[in-house]
Structure 1
Amino acid sequence: MTNSVAEIAENEALFVIGSNTTENHPIIALRMKEAVAKGAKLIVADPRKIPLVKFATLWLRHRPGTDAVLLNAIMNAILAEGLEDKNFIAGRTEGYEEFVKSLETFTPEYGEEITGVPAEDIRKAARIYGSAKNAGIYYAMGITQHSMGTNNVHAVGNLAMLTGNVGKRAAGVNPLRGQNNVQGACDMGGLPNVYPGYQKVDDPAVKAKFEKAWGKSLPDKIGLPATMMTGAMLSGELKGMYIFGENPALSDPNTTHSVKAFANLEFLVVQDIFMTETAKLADVVLPGVSFAEKDGTFTSSERRVQRVMKAVNSPGEAQLDLDIIDQIYKRIEGKGDLDKKPVPAEIFAEVAALWPALAGVSYARLEKESVQWPCPAEDHPGTEFLFKDSFNREGGKALFTPVPFVASKELPDKEYPFVLTTGRELFHYHTGTMTRRSKGLNAIAPEAFIEINPADAESMGLVDGGKLTVSSRRGSISLKARVSNIVPPNVVFIPFHYSEAAANLLTNDAMDPVCKIMEAKVCAVKLEMC
């Protein structure tokens, strides 16, 4: 997030797109409701009538996969009504003229044709967002898990820049991360193209810095994104894999394809706290530990670094992920004291010495307070919001990026006439590795379901609770129907937590060409009564 969670309550306008915030990020949703209670105007853009809609000033029910067109049409309307921030654009951005030209065809009327949102509602959204003194955009995987996900995020950034809603309090571009330490994992270099602190693997100066610090020769070749590993496994390029804290045999789109790829490996190691669907495929399973058994730090969506302290002892032979990795490393190298365990505080200090954004953060400080990076010195208070004075580009200016209309890779047709979109529900979490082992949560949300519009149900003779078989070009599952206006006609929704009716057997593994994320939010399906 460019801004902080506490600032949400100060927003004059909020634009939520691709985020079922009340179910996926309920604490952040409370801040949004607080802002509305104080008089803020809330725009919600979502194909489903998610719970947050009830608090919205305006609900934009766009067709799945048309996010960028909707955003472009709103920006076209902002320009038509003179609501752009001319001073911000002139002083802090580049590429504006080309960007404005790219919006010419995205009139509200064209937006209505593609997205299904009435042109007048597009204009209303432009007025609400464009007229606010400070407006924040909040998004999640509802706009990223598409074959044009990068374009969608560029469009979000364009909208914030067009109205000068970046680099100031209670505004910004705010991605809501999917788990409690996704931000921290990325910060520490858990990506194929960067070292800790987003320092590029293929930058010779960066490589030299880390080689000196670590006393090792390091590769300068960018690794494979996780989504490209499936193809590499099937081709034989990738022969072994070490997976921890991930369950791709259930979470990957087109999971049949992924499971087939795992079978092609020579060796698979899975490190987890439970015997997941992926662990069942492994040659070796290593018992890791849960968050309550760890010592270290978590970094939240708002870049806030917080100490995590061990609360309970680990069962059986379970060990810290850090300790397991250290043991494997020492055995591979054939040196090092196997009885000496790594110290989390020392590792954090090492990262802080190599990444200026953490230079002012230490375990001693974190014992007293949490800190938001960048925090370049011990006497620095941390940074509530980013880009106050400049952006992280040469010259310090932000760049507008023209975003064309790119359709989803798989659209409905005669054989597969419905659009399937997937997501989470309040009572379960991702592939259910932890939550589906909770008796209390399972009592509330015991089984998979498919949401279907009443008009579609009536045309099939389907009643609420009736069973459907849902099929795509990749697989089929059977589950109970919830007949509801939550979804529009010709669109169905399935949560992806349930292994016995795995939504990702159906979803499309088409990839965004830039960031390589898969299109889990749009695919074509057909429905048959069981």
Structure 2
Amino acid sequence: MAGLARVFGSGAMTNSINDIEQAGVLLVTGSNTTETHPVLAAAIKRAVKHRGAKLIVADPRRIRLTQFAHIWLRQNPGTDTAWINSMLHAIINEDLLDHEFVDNHTSGLDRLREHVSKYTPEYAAGITGIPPEDLIKAARMYARAPAASILYTMGITQHTSGTGNVMALADLAMLCGNLGIPGGGVNPLRGQNNVQGACDMGALPDVYSGYQKVEVPENREKMARAWNVKSLPDKPGMKLTGMLAGSGENAVKALYVIGENPALSDPDAQHTRKALQDLEFLVVQDIFLTETASMADVVLPACSFAEKDGTFTNTERRVQRVRKAIEPVGHSRPDWMIIQDLASRFGFFMHYQSPQDIMQEIASVTPSYAGINYSRLEKKGLQWPCPHQDHPGTPILHSQGFAAGRAGFQCVEYTPPEETIDEAFPLWLTTGRSLYHYHTGSMTRKIRGLNALERECCLEVSPQDAHKAGLKDHDRVSVRSRRGEITTRVRISSAAVPGAVFIPFHFAEAAANVLTNPALDPVAGVPEYKVCAVRIGIVD
């Protein structure tokens, strides 16, 4: 399972974007694709409308994509593993699995069969709220497709059970032989334009570039030689959530933040801001004065993508050239230049002359990037793994089987969200993006046209819940969780379902993450942004 786990841990699509339109069935879960990935959503709609693909959407909200869906699985927030296990149960129970793939490429089928035996559609319905007949229908539709693609985003991962959710989806794909084939795969849609590239380059606490683990002596020795140092630490570093945990014996005293805005993007935002204020020294490197940068002791002005050369790696693992269109504005500089100068002042002298020099080093120490260089990227990008200069890149992972041999079924148990609704906090809250703004709004909220389309935060409420609470459109309300309170406007919407409300996280003046739960996935350390309990009240 090592190779498969490494890919899923990297958040990489196993297949290509073009494969979306080759799928017989598309299972979209935890992704409001039309608003967060509109280009990919267009491919999904084309596949359904013009190529005869069947669409299954699993989402607590009535997102726009449900209008194109053949089945909408409306699960209770935080219950994804239960409905996935129920589909596994139905597929095994009706003998719809791909026996050839399972026999040749996997291990642990008997253990999986025993594990999901209790997840009958009726049992899962009691957890998820999904009618048993819909679970069975979805399982049959997915299993009978010649090729079925799973597409997901942070609605699956941003839970205390996020890692388990992803592994359960991997079990589903393996059981039906939907890995290594056109139109198949388990495909996370990355949330930002180069987040895949950042992860590939080792912007994670436990790996070097290409997901090479720091605990492996050979990896450390190789990197030490490349960087001309005697040794490197043999233990993983801290995750962001650990860095901002607060005061104490092991508390971080200084923080260097590059291109992030944790004052607005981290859960339990009041605690996060207090942790940032308690730092002895805070440096922020960014293109705008974000909420975090406004708290910094030093701000280093960086360049936008249009002011520098380099590469981006997109959601389908495709490494592409980015070329400077304009000269850097004001005193801003490319990130690599700033970092190189800082390193020199610390006594570690880097001697890169250009991003191309850095790319050559990346290829020399990263097996999956070894065949990638600027000359090969001149006209078209390459998808990793690309292990040598004559390799064409890899559009579909695992087409020759799994690198580690057989992949074991993970048999993930359902665990409920960290907190639940009760009389004091009777509504589920989930958060996400809107079509017109992006992340913490540090760029999009500076654009007049986008602000005209969506100028303020709104709490999305179902007509039923609005009637029960005596709310009207545009009423000003307070929203309180067990961590804090914000004030916002009401938007009564058919996208909301009874018992659950939604807030976009772009607006500092009504920061959704004041409310969200900082409870973490024990493996990935990702906070449970997507489900917490709240109550609402009218503001006079």
Q: Normalising to structure 1: TM-score of the pair?
A: 0.97
Q: Does 1:136 align with 2:145?
A: no
Once the two structures are TM-superposed, the CA of residue 404 in structure 1 deviates from its matched residue by 0.9
Cα distance in 2 for partners of 1:279, 1:294 equals: 22
Deviation at 1:234, TM superposition (A): 5.6
Q: Counterpart of 1:259?
A: 273
- AA at the equivalent of 1:219: P
Does the Cα contact within 8 Å between 1:233 and 1:262 map onto a contact in 2? Answer: no
What is the one-letter code of the residue matched to 2:406? Answer: K
> Quick check: 1:34 aligned with 2:66?
no
Q: Which moved more, 1:213-222 or 1:121-130?
A: 213-222
Please report how far the alpha carbon of residue 205 of structure 1 lies from its aligned counterpart in structure 2 after TM superposition: 0.8
1:324 equivalent in structure 2: 338
Residue 306 of structure 1 deviates from its aligned partner by: 0.2
Equivalent runs, 1:332-351 vs 2, <5 Å: 332-333=346-347, 342-351=353-362
- Alignment: residue pair count: 525
Matched ranges for 1:229-248 at <5 A: 229-231=243-245, 237-248=251-262
Structure 2: state its 5+ residue gaps.
1-12
Separation in 2, partners of 1:391, 1:487: 41
Shift of 1:368: 2.2
* 1:490 maps to 2:499: yes
% same residue? 52
Per the TM alignment, residue 390 of structure 1 is displaced from its structure 2 partner at its CA by 2.6
What secondary structure does 1:127 align onto?
helix
Q: Give the RMSD, CA atoms, in angstroms.
A: 1.2
**Could you say which residue in structure 1 is the equivalent of 2:382?**
371
Q: Is the 8 A contact 1:234 1:264 kept in 2?
A: no
Counterpart position of 1:407:
416
Structure 2 partner of 1:419: 428
Q: Which residue of 2 aligns with 1:440?
A: 449
The residue aligned with 1:283 is 297
Match in the other structure for 2:10: none
Counterpart among 166, 183, 202 of residue 179 in structure 2: 166
1:479 equivalent in alignment to 2:497: no
> Separation in 1 of the partners of 2:64 and 2:494?
12
One-letter amino acid of the structure 1 residue matched with residue 361 of structure 2: E
Distance in 1 separating the partners of 2:247 and 2:128: 38
Q: Is the 8 A contact 1:323 1:342 kept in 2?
A: no
Deviations 1:332-382 (A, max 9, x none): 10757xxx7631111111111111221211101101221111112222211
Q: Does 1:517 align with 2:530?
A: no
Which residue number corresponds to residue 366 of structure 2?
Answer: 355
Query: Which amino acid is the alignment partner of residue 381 of structure 1?
Result: P
Q: Which residue of 2 aligns with 1:385?
A: 396
Q: Is the 8 A contact 2:194 2:313 kept in 1?
A: yes
Q: Paired residue for 1:269?
A: 283
Aligned to 1:6: 18
Question: 1 CA distance for matches of 2:288 and 2:46?
Answer: 38
Q: 1:465 to 1:330 in 2, by over 3 A?
A: same
User: What amino acid maps onto 2:268 in structure 1?
Assistant: N
SS of the counterpart of 1:16? strand
CA distance in 2, matches of 1:235, 1:484: 48
Helix, strand or coil at the partner of 2:273: helix
Q: What is the one-letter code of the residue matched to 2:26?
A: L
Q: In the alignment, what sits opposite 1:292? A: 306
Match of 2:169, SS state, is helix
Once the two structures are overlaid, the 10-residue window that deviates more, 340-349 or 146-155, is: 340-349
SS in 2 for 1:429: coil
User: Once the 2 structures are TM-superposed, how far is the Cα of residue 259 of structure 1 from its aligned partner?
Assistant: 0.7
Does structure 1 retain, via aligned residues, the 8 Å contact 2:243–2:251?
no
User: What is the one-letter code of the residue matched to 1:376?
Assistant: P
User: Following TM superposition, by how much is the alpha carbon of 1:82 offset from its aligned partner in structure 2, in angstroms?
Assistant: 1.2
* 1:131 Cα deviation after fit: 0.3
Which whole-Å CA distance do the structure 1 matches of 2:127 and 2:90 have between them? 16
Normalising to structure 2: TM-score of the pair? 0.96
**Secondary structure in 1 aligned to 2:376?**
helix
The answer to whether structure 1 residue 148 and structure 2 residue 157 are counterparts is: no
Instruction: Give CA deviations for 1:194-230 in whole Å, capped at 9, x if unaligned.
Output: 0011101110011111111111121112101112111
Equivalents in 2 of 1:446, 1:345: separation in Å?
41
CA distance in 2, matches of 1:523, 1:422: 10
Q: 1:180 to 1:334 in 2, by over 3 A?
A: closer
Give the corresponding residue for 1:206: 219
Aligned AA (2:121): P
Aligned partner (choices 73, 77, 80) of residue 60 of structure 1 = 73
